[in-house]
């Protein structure tokens, strides 16, 4: 049940504020160049053409459209967010080729806060939660969807980047939040991929349940998942209602679930979660026995089918993150990195990182093939 009674009305983008920014929202746009999301003065006919219902205020009942309009509004009315998105114009990118797939490396200095965030229990206790409504910047507004609020992310990786926190201050745990993640990915699937960083897997707020979202197609995994399964994996289940793939591409070990049936996905994910928790304990993991197994998850719904990519991990950060001198490299992989866009917030690291460095660091934080097999056997 939604906790809307506790929402600060001043936090919500009103229909009057949203309407001017719905103009020109076009689902055919697959990639949005940095700086291109300003106010557009073209009539909005797309919602009517697609038969999307609107509410009494004329707002389309489509969370993806509303979220894009929110971001346009915030870029004009929240200087901190505007500056963050403007910084994407100076981002540098390199691409490395591996065995039939590419991995991008992005120099993005704006991500240094997230990449180097202290997430130990003492540090978390001593700081205010930046995802709770009471601590959001005054200019920040959002769009409500059930128990979650879509917010613009002021430290973006994507040209459209959102943080989607739960309305209550509850821990970052996926087992009971997987169904809402599927529902949100369906609601935002017109434009976006959602992702989840586990409490020991890149979440800079492990004390507050949240997802993130960005434009679909930005991460190589968005478009290359089926080819990756064919080249580096095996479809262990393959029928019209549910497909499951085991993939080991030499850097990452992961499981792909694809289905048009939400209940089947939820059942198999619950099996995956239980099997991985057991396998992690037996193999040794940084996560304690009473903690969530280490997962990064990508979800989207496209052509009426959900796709879930679950990356299985054993460590939060590679040893080089903590090294000194020339050996140190500020690389703290989370879902976007596992999805194929590796964030380096330090320019020196961006220029000197090599394919072998990436291979070594991903293998260090990922589970072994044996753990992947142990999980697959239980599905």
pLDDT tens per residue, range 160-175:
999 999 999 999 999 9
d(CA 247, CA 256): 8
Residue 25: what pLDDT? 58
Residue 185: what pLDDT? 98
What's the mean pLDDT in 97-104?
96
Residue 263: what pLDDT? 97
Lowest mean pLDDT, pick from 49-63, 115-129, 199-213, 309-323: 115-129
The CATH number covering residue 99 comes to: 3.30.428.70
Tell me if 370 sits within 8 A of 275, measured CB to CB. no
Residue 116 has pLDDT above 70, yes or no: no
Residue 223 tokens read as: 């478009």
Residue 33 has pLDDT above 50, yes or no: no
Residue 5: what pLDDT? 45
Name the residue range of residue 46's domain.
Answer: 4-376
Residue 371: what pLDDT? 97
Residue 283: what pLDDT? 87
Please list the alpha-helical segments (H only) found in the chain. 15-18, 46-49, 63-77, 79-86, 112-115, 121-126, 178-188, 220-232, 262-283, 335-338, 347-352, 355-365, 369-376
| Backbone dihedral angles phi then psi of residue 307, each to the nearest 5 degrees | -130, 130
Q: Which residue has the higher pLDDT, 230 or 87?
A: 230
Tell me if 24 sits within 8 A of 47, measured CB to CB. no
Residue 36 has pLDDT above 50, yes or no: no
State pLDDT tens for residues 249-276: 999 999 999 999 999 999 999 999 999 9
Residue 146: what pLDDT? 95
What's the mean pLDDT in 35-64?
65
d(CA 72, CA 74): 6
Q: Which long-range contacts (CB under 8 A, 24 or more apart) does 71-74 make?
A: 71/37, 71/152, 71/160, 71/162, 72/21, 72/37, 72/38, 72/39, 72/40, 73/13, 73/17, 73/18, 73/20, 73/21, 73/141, 74/139, 74/140, 74/141, 74/152
pLDDT band at 369 (very low <50, low <70, confident <90, very high): very high
Tell me if 366 sits within 8 A of 252, measured CB to CB. yes
Residue 60: what pLDDT? 87
pTM of the model: 0.90
What's the mean pLDDT in 277-301?
89
Residue 153: what pLDDT? 95
Residue 253: what pLDDT? 98
Report the domain count for the chain.
1
d(CA 159, CA 330): 23
Mean pLDDT of the chain: 89
Lowest mean pLDDT, pick from 90-104, 125-139, 222-236, 302-316: 125-139
Residue 2: what pLDDT? 40
Taking alpha carbons only, the member of 257, 249, 217, 254 closest to residue 232 is 249
The residue with tokens 């769009």 is 143
């Amino acid at each position: 049940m939604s906790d809307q009674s506790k929402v600060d009305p001043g936090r919500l983008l009103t229909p009057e504020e949203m309407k001017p920014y719905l103009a020109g929202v076009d689902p055919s746009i697959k990639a949005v160049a940095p700086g291109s999301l300003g106010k557009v003065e073209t009539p909005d006919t797309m919602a009517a053409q697609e038969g999307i219902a609107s509410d009494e205020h004329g707002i389309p009942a489509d969370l993806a459209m509303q979220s894009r309009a929110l971001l346009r509004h915030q870029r004009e009315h929240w200087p901190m967010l505007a500056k963050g998105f403007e910084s994407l114009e100076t981002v540098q990118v390199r691409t490395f080729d591996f065995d039939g797939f590419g991995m991008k490396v992005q120099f993005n200095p704006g991500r240094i806060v997230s990449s180097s965030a202290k997430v130990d229990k003492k540090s978390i206790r001593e700081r205010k939660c930046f995802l709770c409504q009471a601590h959001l910047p005054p200019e920040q507004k959002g769009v409500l969807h059930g128990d979650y609020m879509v917010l613009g992310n002021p430290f973006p990786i994507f040209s459209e980047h959102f943080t989607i926190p739960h309305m209550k201050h509850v821990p970052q745990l996926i087992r009971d939040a997987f169904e809402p993640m599927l529902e949100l990915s369906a609601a935002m699937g017109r434009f976006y991929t959602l992702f989840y960083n586990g409490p020991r897997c890149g979440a800079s707020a492990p004390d507050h349940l949240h997802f993130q979202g960005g434009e679909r197609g930005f991460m190589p995994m968005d478009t290359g998942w089926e080819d990756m399964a064919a080249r580096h994996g095996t479809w262990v289940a393959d029928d019209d209602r549910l497909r499951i793939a085991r993939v080991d591409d030499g850097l990452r070990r992961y499981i792909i679930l694809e289905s048009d049936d939400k209940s089947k996905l939820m059942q198999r994910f619950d099996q995956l979660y239980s099997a991985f928790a057991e396998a992690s304990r037996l193999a040794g993991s940084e996560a304690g026995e009473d903690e969530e197994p280490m997962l990064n998850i990508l979800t989207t719904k496209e052509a009426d089918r959900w796709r879930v990519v679950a990356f299985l991990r054993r460590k939060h950060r590679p040893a080089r993150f903590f090294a000194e001198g020339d050996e140190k490299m500020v690389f703290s992989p989370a879902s976007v990195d596992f999805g194929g866009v590796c964030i380096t917030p330090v320019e020196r690291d961006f220029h000197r990182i090599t394919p072998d460095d990436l291979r070594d660091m991903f293998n260090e934080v990922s589970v072994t093939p044996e753990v992947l097999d142990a999980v697959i056997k239980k599905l």
